[in-house]
Amino acid sequence: MQDKIVIVPCFNEFDRLPINDFYAFLESGQKSFNLMFVNDGSTDKTKSLLEEIRLKFPEQVGVLNLENNVGKAEAVRQGFLKAFDDNFDIIGFMDADLSVPIEEIKKIVDIMEQTPSLNIVMGSRIKRLGSHIERSEFRHILGRIFSTFASLILKLGVYDTQCGAKVFRREMVADIFKDSFITSWLFDVELLARYKRKFGEKHCYSSVYEYPLGTWVEVGGSKLRLKHYFMVPFQLVKIWRKYH
């Protein structure tokens, strides 16, 4: 069995972290599945909350404390570099608010473990019959417009670049996470751009898999502000120029 770890970036999540869901998962006895919370210079009581979780499950839970707030992209990157040094075989990340339920991230990890040809497995919020994707119309439409442009810029038929649940095989870490990202909220697009640049377009279609999530529920308290939405087109151009 391979050792797996999922990184959970946390910035001021004290009031929002669904701690009981995390405990329920940790109590379910899946010992080879680890969690690493990255406390990104939180100014609330996140640090002590994460320490409490770690003390309850020292074997399965790690906490990486960053002194200053560096943003989600860098926090996730630091987590990946640490997980790589700690010799994990499969390394992923997910959002602290559990918009993607732990059961779903587990499925994503299982797919990776069972399919040696895959290097990246990512959750995809495809609103389809039989799934439960709950998102405000506004964010759904903006999300679809964004993903269409991201797909054009990447020149890759990807449906949902922004879902906060992605899992990588260990061997990908050096190529994808070695350098800092040039954007903070669009680093998911950069991940794919880096992978495509390294392995070529054709390989992307056979080694990256978008798993259509059964459940995704938008959780309030998002740290994305209107100004971030306005910055998106400029950031996409920045990505295009850097990776083209």
Ligand X SMILES: Nc1nc2c(ncn2[C@@H]2O[C@H](COP(=O)(O)OP(=O)(O)O)[C@@H](O)[C@H]2O)c(=O)[nH]1
What the block records as the tokens of 78 is: 């630091």
Q: Which one of 65, 69, 151, 215 is in contact with ligand X (CB under 6 A)? A: 69
Task: Indicate the residue among 9 and 62 with the shorter CB distance to ligand X.
Answer: 9
| Under rule CB under 6 A, residue 214 binds ligand X | no
Q: Where are the beta strands (DSSP E) in 82-164?
A: 90-94, 120-124, 132-134
Look at the alpha carbons of 80, 75, 151, 4 in this order and tell me if their dihedral is positive or negative.
Answer: positive
Q: Which one of 9, 62, 92, 123 is in contact with ligand X (CB under 6 A)? A: 9
SS3 per-residue string spanning 30-41 = CCCEEEEEEEEC
Question: Residues 109-114: contacts with CB within 8 Å, 24+ apart?
Answer: 109/4, 109/6, 109/33, 109/167, 111/209, 111/211, 112/167, 112/169, 113/1, 113/2, 113/4
Task: Indicate the residue among 89 and 134 with the shorter CB distance to ligand X.
Answer: 134
| Under rule CB under 6 A, residue 13 binds ligand X | yes
Task: Indicate the residue among 72 and 107 with the shorter CB distance to ligand X.
Answer: 72
Query: In this structure, what are the phi and psi dihedrals at residue 24, rounded to the nearest 5 degrees?
Result: -60, -40
> Rounded to 10 degrees, what is the CA torsion of 141, 74, 122, 202?
100
**Residue nearest Mg ion, Cβ-based:** 97
What is the closest distance, in whole angstroms, from the C-beta atom of residue 10 to ligand X in the complex? 5
Q: Which one of 4, 72, 107, 169 is in contact with ligand X (CB under 6 A)? A: 72
Which alpha helices (DSSP H) does 178-225 contain, by range?
187-199, 201-207
| Under rule CB under 5 A, residue 97 binds Mg ion | yes
| Under rule CB under 6 A, residue 95 binds ligand X | yes
- Footprint of ligand X on residues 147-166 (CB under 6 A)? 164
Size of site (CB under 6 A) for ligand X:
18
Q: Which one of 96, 167, 236, 239 is in contact with ligand X (CB under 6 A)? A: 96
Q: Which one of 18, 71, 143, 214 is in contact with ligand X (CB under 6 A)? A: 71
| Under rule CB under 6 A, residue 10 binds ligand X | yes
- Residue 94 pairs in a beta bridge with 165
What the block records as the tokens of 197 is: 């640049």
Residues that bind Mg ion (CB under 5 A): 97, 99, 222
Residues that bind ligand X (CB under 6 A): 9-11, 13, 38, 40, 69, 71-72, 75, 95-97, 99, 164, 222-224
